[in-house]
Structure 1
Amino acid sequence: MDDSGSAQTGSGIYTAPRTDVSQNQGTFRIHFNFPGRAVPGHDDHGYGPLATVVESFMDPGTLIRMHQHRNEEIVSWVPDGVMRHDDRQGNELVTDSEHLLVMNAGSGFWHAEETLADDPPLRMLQIFVRPHSLDLEPGIQHEPIPDQVRNEWRHLLGPDGCDAPLSVRNDVHVSDCRLDAGAATTLPSRPGWDTYCYVFEGAVDVGETAVGYTESALVTDDGDVPVTATEDSTVVAFVIDPDAPVTREGTIGR
């Protein structure tokens, strides 16, 4: 284990505790998870195209005023509650457990986020992907996602041209899974790619490695790796091409 708390616990499996990188803005609080920090000595806080996975909290009645993002792909994953979005393109969108939002910021995209006073407290993930090129055409995707089937992975998004409901402009696939206590599945993978997983709720064993609430694991070995829930759990998995070309000039996800 190094000073960051990351550790290699088995062949090709690196774990990291809950991040200590956070910002507290009162009714809006964020925790930055940096997948590259799972690997001791890794020279990048991100891991290939995946810059950071941000655990975000918004209390009811919170407004994050209109602001700009550039040169990053931002995925808003909301397992419960609602996140309200508006932008300078005239979109007024509600993201919840049945929808996913992707801002392909490109050369520049302005948006605001809000929860109303009678909305429930919100805890979500905002995922920052490094695009393959700078100053791409900006745009936004807001689509319904398939119903979740417990104990099975749900493919949410991937690179342009894949069969997922939404896309980002680099080599990252994102899936989620709600596992019942005692249930097992196989971690999503692709030959030659690596998989980072984040435990949003509960606790699991990745292979023989325990990964608890808000902890993460990076798997760099090929082959099937079992994921077994030691309690009811929600896990998000990111399958990443570590050698994909990336840019590092995003507003947040550098």
Structure 2
Amino acid sequence: MLQKLSADKHKQPYKGYFTVTRVQPGDIIDQQFHDTAFGPLSVIDHAVMKKGLTIKMHEHVNDEILSYVYKGTSNHKDSAGLEAPIFPGKIMMMNAGSSFWHEEKVDQEDVEMLQIFVRPRVADLEPRIQFHDKEVANREWYVMVGPEDSQAPLHVRNNVYILDAHPKKGDVLDIPVYPGLVPFFYVLDGEIEIGDLQLKKKEAITDLENLLPAITAIEDTSVVLFFVDMDAVMSMSGTISGNASNR
């Protein structure tokens, strides 16, 4: 059965120059013992950062973090001395492991982005950072992230895949199948139809038992699709991904 997560269910822990809509993907499931993560997929922060904002150097431990900029440019700096701009088509994976420090700065136009937090399989792995250049407006599915033994360009240290697509109005996209993994579908922008439901910006859908039907773009749309091992072993010690306030 299709289960929808409406935009009005999300919290906004930060507002102002740094506004975060915190999508807790586990809220889509009616759980007796509630974990607001969806397996190891813990948090999707849909953020807007205003021009002139600096988020000062801060530490993450045991978070796997995909930074996906939809609009604008966010300037990354870390404690290893690396500096790099992140913008549409330039994606970054921070595998925080035992400790990773970074800073974000917006010098030019406002930034809209996702920061996606995944729980690693175990705590205190080696910290590392990865970058990948991809097509900006791919109308078909593009695999951005996958487990370490996958062919995905960026690796996350758990059994999770992350794809994106940017269908134009009227496009129909079939949902791929990853055997043994459960889909979680998120609308970054625009509007789609799936089954007898419509999803708008910041809304999500899943089906825990069946394959998701094809989607139809009602307007030009950007979507992110996750495939998650709901039985994966995972560390609960992440700064954000394992925080007790998110469970």
Answer yes or no: is 1:128 the counterpart of 2:117.
Answer: yes
Q: What is the CA-CA distance between 1:147 and the residue it aligns to?
A: 5.2
2:70/2:111 contact within 8 Å kept: no
Match of 2:152 in 1: 164
SS in 1 for 2:20: strand
Measured in 1, the distance between the counterparts of 2:134 and 2:191 equals: 25
Measured in 2, the distance between the counterparts of 1:189 and 1:125 equals: 24
Answer yes or no: is 1:22 the counterpart of 2:17.
Answer: no
Normalising to structure 2: TM-score of the pair? Answer: 0.93
Q: What is the CA-CA distance between 1:253 and the residue it aligns to?
A: 1.3
Match of 2:245 in 1: none
Q: 2:47 aligns with which of 50, 56, 59?
A: 56
Measured in 1, the distance between the counterparts of 2:213 and 2:48 equals: 31
Match of 1:37 in 2: 27
SS in 2 for 1:243: coil
- Which runs of 5 or more residues in structure 1 are unaligned? 1-10
1:37/1:45 contact within 8 Å kept: yes
Q: 2:97 aligns with which of 106, 110, 113?
A: 106
Match of 1:3 in 2: none
2:23/2:44 contact within 8 Å kept: yes
2:10/2:24 contact within 8 Å kept: no
Match of 2:229 in 1: 241
Measured in 2, the distance between the counterparts of 1:82 and 1:133 equals: 32
Q: What is the CA-CA distance between 1:232 and the residue it aligns to?
A: 1.3
Deviation string, structure 1 residues 148-197 (Cα, Å, up to 9, x no partner): 432x1111111112111111000110011111111111123312211101
CA separation of 1:212/1:224 partners in 2, compared to 1, >3 Å: closer, same or farther?
closer
Amino acid corresponding to residue 195 of structure 2 in structure 1? G
SS in 1 for 2:166: strand
- Which runs of 5 or more residues in structure 2 are unaligned? 243-247
SS in 2 for 1:22: strand
Match of 1:180 in 2: 168
2:145/2:163 contact within 8 Å kept: yes
1:188/1:195 contact within 8 Å kept: no
Q: What is the CA-CA distance between 1:25 and the residue it aligns to?
A: 4.7
